Amino acid sequence: MSVTNAETVPISDATGRWALLGGTFDPIHIGHLRIAAQLRDLGFDKVLLIPNRIPPHRPQPQANGEQRLQMLSLACRELDGVEACDIELLRDAYSYSAITVAALKAQYPGVSFTWVMGQDAWQGFEHWHQPLELLEQANLLVVSRPPDTSDVETEQNTSHWQEQQLELRQRSISQLLDSESGTICLQPLPELDISASYLRRAIKQGHNIHFLVPDAVLDFLNQQQLYR
């Protein structure tokens, strides 16, 4: 989904509950797609995968924006309601989530947005660019691993600011889906133990990565000779 594409849903017709999943997607892999599919199962009408142009909290991606967007588009072909969105690639600045959400909200005022992040990102969320402004425009869904002994460590790492925000805003997933903005939900979801950094190393070393990325993405990686 390109925000400048003529085929984009007209502003007046865009409604529903959309989940926003940002990242470098360098490259996209089945772990990302599994989360997107689970978000659809939770009740979101659409999931947008948003590749960063200039990520604020990690090194610059190895693949360029056009290559990563193409991989996302290939990966989403067979996933109903999951689309690539180039809104951050079009902005020649840091890919701050608050700015992205505000821009999407201005373009699609009838849509309820939820920004999705992992537990590791949540630990540093208070240090993000304008975190409260993001919550004014959208909900926040923190995807965590199913409960186990690691929960003790997670609770110990929760800051006073996070405790305050959870006390004020934490709700269930069903309540989040009914909320326009400002709600935080910590939702346990099974995760696949796979990362883009692992895939880049595996490709560089000539290892087989079949079944870790969609076949169309694997063909693109081979064609472009990425990460070699």
Q: Residue length, the chain? A: 228
Q: Return the percent helix, strand and coil in the chain, to nearest 5.
A: 40, 15, 40
User: What is the pLDDT averaged over residues 202-217?
Assistant: 95
Q: Once rounded to an integer, what is the mean pLDDT over residues 184-199?
A: 91
Higher pLDDT, 215 or 158: 215
Residue 187, strand partner residues? 143
Instruction: Enter the pTM of the model.
Output: 0.89
- The DSSP bridge partners found for residue 47 are 19, 82
Whether 124 has a pLDDT exceeding 50, the answer reads: yes
Looking at residue 78, its pLDDT comes to: 85
Domain boundaries, the chain: 11-194
The whole-number average pLDDT for the span 60-88 is 96
SS (H, E, C) the chain: CCCCCCCCCCHHHCCEEEEEEEECCCCCCHHHHHHHHHHHHHCCCEEEEEECCCCCCCCCCCCCHHHHHHHHHHHCCCCCCEEECCCCCCCCCCCCHHHHHHHHHHHCCCEEEEEEEEHHHHHCHHHCCCHHHHHHHCEEEEEECCCCCHHHHHHHCCCHHHHHHHHHHECCHHHHHCCCCCCEEEEECCCCCCCHHHHHHHHHCCCCCECCECHHHHHHHHHHCCCC
**144: pLDDT confidence band, cut at 50, 70 and 90?**
confident
**Which fold would CATH assign to domain 11-194?**
Rossmann fold (3.40.50)
| Per-residue pLDDT band at 147 (split at 50, 70, 90) | low
Q: What is the mean pLDDT of the chain?
A: 89
Residue found under tokens 């975190």: 131
Instruction: Find how far residue 98's CA is from the centre of its chain.
Output: 13
Give residue 157's pLDDT band: very low, low, confident or very high (50, 70, 90): confident
Indicate if the pLDDT at residue 170 is higher than 50: yes
Residue 9: pLDDT above 60? no
Looking at residue 146, its pLDDT comes to: 62
Average pLDDT over residues 16-38: 96
